[in-house]
Structure 1
């Protein structure tokens, strides 16, 4: 059995685990992510790897990272809550410090890969994962592989223009009307209260307790999500569409989205579109990061065999 050190580096905390090649956790925990420098982060990762090496012989290090990860170069482009990770060659730095092979991938892409490996999409090759949180992101997976796009923006579904495109130069994006943050803002406006005192959980609890105005906003919110999903189904035509993020834990919302999608079926829209919830929660980025590492290693081994 082969073993790996796996990290999910986030803006606030970094999850880490010792895992085997089947995706099983041997041990896992978390620590605060350093705010000041890449050197501090590398020190933490390096020390954790050394602790794991006392228990198992490691075959490599897998990272889930924020930002637009260039998996070929090992660098992170774009922007995130950790400015210091953008620019330096993370892979090269960590490989030199540990002497182990390293691979990294974007966090949302990792979450999607986890579903394709041992989760809700394990039985299909082509699927979309839509992650609904403060904004809307996700991934396009074809033949079990992430499609990054020319500018590393494939899966940035939240930038799709949904409304007001005739009146505004850029219109209204999907993130601004279909994210968790969007429903909070819309309900706050409808109720005439400060949005800072609300969150997504509170909004849905208000609806559960019979607030008609909030229920109406959630109905429109659900329709906006369904419209975006229908557009993606026709654009990419995957075998499955999955929804992730904390909002996906509400089974009744998934049911409402599917009911809305079903009601939109007509002579023009003939496809039977249905969504499922992602299966993994906080562990998804770790599982997907490991799968990405194993995919990359397999490709490298095949290339070497063909060369010989």
Structure 2
């Protein structure tokens, strides 16, 4: 059996998959956000109870919201204090007496889509999650590209190209939680889209009350209703995203780009974005397939289980 954990900022999700990759057990609990020992207790309880239920010693994979320090193998999880600075892999292995594989949650999402998902037949796949932030991952021949510092695929923290400030000179220079400026996620995440709408509401109408400061789904609804500020906001949002994906195409030349996260259901990502990317790549390049993730919210925990799949 393959055991998968998806550890997030608010919950731990645990699933068990059989050799046919069918989910035979799933449960969620609130994540111990401050107490590391309590978090370890929760993980090994799930593991030992599943061992007993399925009469096996399951293979364990864990997705976490952060990156790993390449020298110490400790986790950098700024949004989850209980995991930050901890060597989860080593500590859990000692408790349960078996190997544990750990990986960034966006990488797990990408891996899931490479096995019977939207990237099933891709030699090179890029996964982009458009949620609270912008996450990313690269899979080559169904294998995660982690990189020298375990930081490959952190597209959300690329600075947007200078051409964007030329094309949209009114754009604000943003400050990102990573310490950088004008990172992609400050414009193209759900949070970034809301901030962009508020900026253009002020820029166009001169004011923006709390009631007028829309969030992602409402901005998309307003765009579909042809509301002027939403149309402008989405136009710039898509242009910035197209330029970023064009840059990734020039580096990786992927077969497919898979979208996950709360904004992945936005139709314009699949109807308008492919044409807009053409402005940022060689004229002879074919645009890869742009697809919505097939496994949705299950992707993280399923991908964690797949870390041990052969």
TM-score (norm 1): 0.85
1:260-281 C-alpha deviation (Å, 9 max, x unpaired): 235x388x43212142222121
Note if contact 2:44-2:95 (Cα within 8 Å) is conserved in structure 1.
yes
Whether 2:180 is the aligned partner of 1:174: answer: no
Structure 2 residue matching 1:285: 3-state secondary structure: helix
Q: CA deviation at 1:163?
A: 4.5
2:229 & 2:49 partners in 1: Cα distance?
54
Residue 291 (1) aligns with residue 306 (2): yes
- CA distance in structure 2 between the aligned counterparts of 1:239 and 1:4, rounded to whole angstroms: 28
Question: In the superposition, relative to structure 1, how do residues 6 and 71 fare at CA in structure 2: closer, same or farther (>3 Å)?
Answer: farther
In structure 2, how many angstroms separate the alpha carbons of the residues matched to 1:70 and 1:294?
A: 24
Residue 220 (str. 1) matches residue 236 (str. 2): yes
- The equivalent residue for 2:193 is 183
Distance 2:280 2:106 in 1: 30
Distance 1:141 1:90 in 2: 24
> Where does structure 1 lack aligned partners over 5 or more consecutive residues?
296-308
Would you say the 8 A contact 2:7–2:13 is kept in 1? Answer: yes
Aligned length, in residue pairs: 290
For residues 194 and 236 of structure 1, the distance between their equivalents in structure 2, rounded to whole angstroms, comes to: 43
What residue ranges of structure 2 are gaps of 5+ in the alignment? Answer: 202-206
Q: Tell me which of 242, 262, 265 is aligned to 1:246.
A: 262
Once the 2 structures are TM-superposed, how far is the Cα of residue 10 of structure 1 from its aligned partner?
0.7
Deviations 1:167-207 (A, max 9, x none): 98976222222222222111112223256953211111122
Tell me by how many angstroms 1:255 deviates: 1.3
The alignment's C-alpha RMSD in Å is 2.6
In 1, Cα distance between the equivalents of 2:210 and 2:117?
35
SS at match of 2:296: coil
How far apart in 2 are the matches of 1:294 and 1:157?
26
**1:124 aligned to which of 122, 125, 137:** 122
Question: Residue 218 of structure 2: SS of its match in structure 1?
Answer: helix
Task: Tell whether the 8 Å contact from 1:16 to 1:30 is kept in structure 2 after alignment.
Answer: yes
